Structure 1
């Protein structure tokens, strides 16, 4: 059986590539299994500091494989496996960057939204097309809604309208939209910046960004003060301050 998802680790960057162009990188059962497996491998690999989710072919991801879902019962729908993929991307202690060179639809937009940073070619397009085939963008809403402006969420979820990468930046779905010929350079710009961060500090920062805030400002300051002090006194913080004083790169920076 031909592999539909590939993993390559080089210079501390783990690149996971969707490679099922025949069905527009749809989330088939095989692709879902391989994607979650490669994510697990990348997370367990200590040499991998940043994860890039990329693709081959014209389309980033067209969403669920409708050929597989037609006629299947509730318990057999592949959508029941998607939460594990989105959760793994969202909670990954390593930063995840989406490289979007082509259209993303439905569940494919869910993948983009679950990544920490998303970079798209200006000619890429997006749509929450679920309502147009009689289903609800329910599962992906868990990762999409925290990204989108509320007005835009109502508009785009209810209409299913296709929108471009520039609009995706405006509504908060994508960080950067660049011409196709500059896409890889823009992804590299982000990954190079992310590689400069200390692994423990990056993981803790991601947890902080995901956490619910205490009800009171005093409680929030107390929690954040404890987190900050622990890292200032910790191994990474001390090494970072020594490196700054000694005008050198800290120990965690991997030369690429």
Structure 2
């Protein structure tokens, strides 16, 4: 059963995470399906840009704790977004948590509604935002990220824009993104591909340098006793044993 809705209009391919009953959590199946859909869009000469959005009230709750993706597969998805020769634009009208923030950071441009909220919740279940740091660290304010990584606290769309996690926020996200999509439709496909290559060079350096180390860290932490306790506590809707 597909967890991804597809549509196209005037050269823009829209891919919508479409598993609202699971808060669009990144399962192994969804990661594989989204990676394949992005790859197809990158090869399609009729596609000028990709919009990545969602159904329901959550863009993505992060990794699906019941069916988590392999860390290497998540790296592959994030790298696919960054390397795609077409601009990828995130359209967010809901909440984003944990691994969903890595997907957001991998996009070239991101618009969020003022109703959206964000949080790096990994530390609260005993793991770290390891793999998603590949696109996040080169693109986001480091002092702000230190606080948000270490505390897991929630923040709003205005703060997300201030620290560089999203490009812009507004009450009407479609109004925010309308001039963006108009600009992309007016741009030469060759120019878009080469300009994106310039903009993503530092991000791809992080992938080349750090991906193996961070996937190993992610796998080690998810297999740890504290992560098992944290994930169990989350699913049981209680505080983990370390909360004081």
Structure 1 position 41, deviation (Å): 1.3
CA drift at 1:124: 0.3
Following superposition, the deviation at residue 104 of structure 1 comes to: 0.5
Which residue of structure 1 lines up, in the alignment, with residue 219 of structure 2? none
TM-score if structure 2 supplies the norm length?
A: 0.80
- For residues 190-224 of structure 1, give each alpha carbon's deviation from its aligned partner in whole angstroms, at most 9, with x where no partner exists: 11111111111111111112235xxxxxxxxxxxx
Q: Which residue of 2 aligns with 1:119?
A: 111
Of 83, 99, 121, the residue aligned with 1:129 is 121
Q: How far is the alpha carbon of 1:189 from its aligned partner?
A: 2.2
Structure 1: unaligned runs, 5 residues or longer: 70-76, 213-256
**d(CA) in 2 for partners of 1:208 and 1:187?**
22
2:23 aligned residue? 24
Distance 1:211 1:144 in 2: 14
- Contact 2:139/2:165 (<8 A) preserved: yes
How far is 1:169 from its partner?
Answer: 0.5
The separation in 2 between residues aligned to 1:68 and 1:153, in whole angstroms, is: 27
Please tell me whether the aligned partners of residues 28 and 68 of structure 1 are also in contact (alpha carbons under 8 angstroms): yes
Deviations 1:64-91 (A, max 9, x none): 001224xxxxxxx533310111001111
* Structure-1 residue corresponding to 2:188: 198
Q: What SS does the corresponding residue of 2:13 show, helix, strand or coil?
A: strand
Correspondence list, 1:95-110, <5 A: 95-110=87-102
The reply to whether residue 152 of structure 1 matches residue 151 of structure 2 is no
Which residue does 2:39 correspond to in 1? 40
Q: Could you give the per-residue CA deviations for residues 124-165 of structure 1, whole angstroms, max 9, x where no partner exists? A: 011111011000100000001112111011111111111000
Residue-pair matches, total: 202
| Structure 1 residue aligned with 2:132 | 140
For 1:78 and 1:150, the matched residues in 2 are separated by 27
- Does residue 175 (structure 1) correspond to residue 167 (structure 2)? The answer is yes
> Whole-Å Cα distance in 1 between the matches of residues 113 and 163 of structure 2?
16
Q: Which residue of 2 aligns with 1:85?
A: 77
What TM-score does the superposition give when structure 1 sets the normalisation length?
Answer: 0.76
Q: Specify the alignment match of 1:50 in structure 2.
A: 49
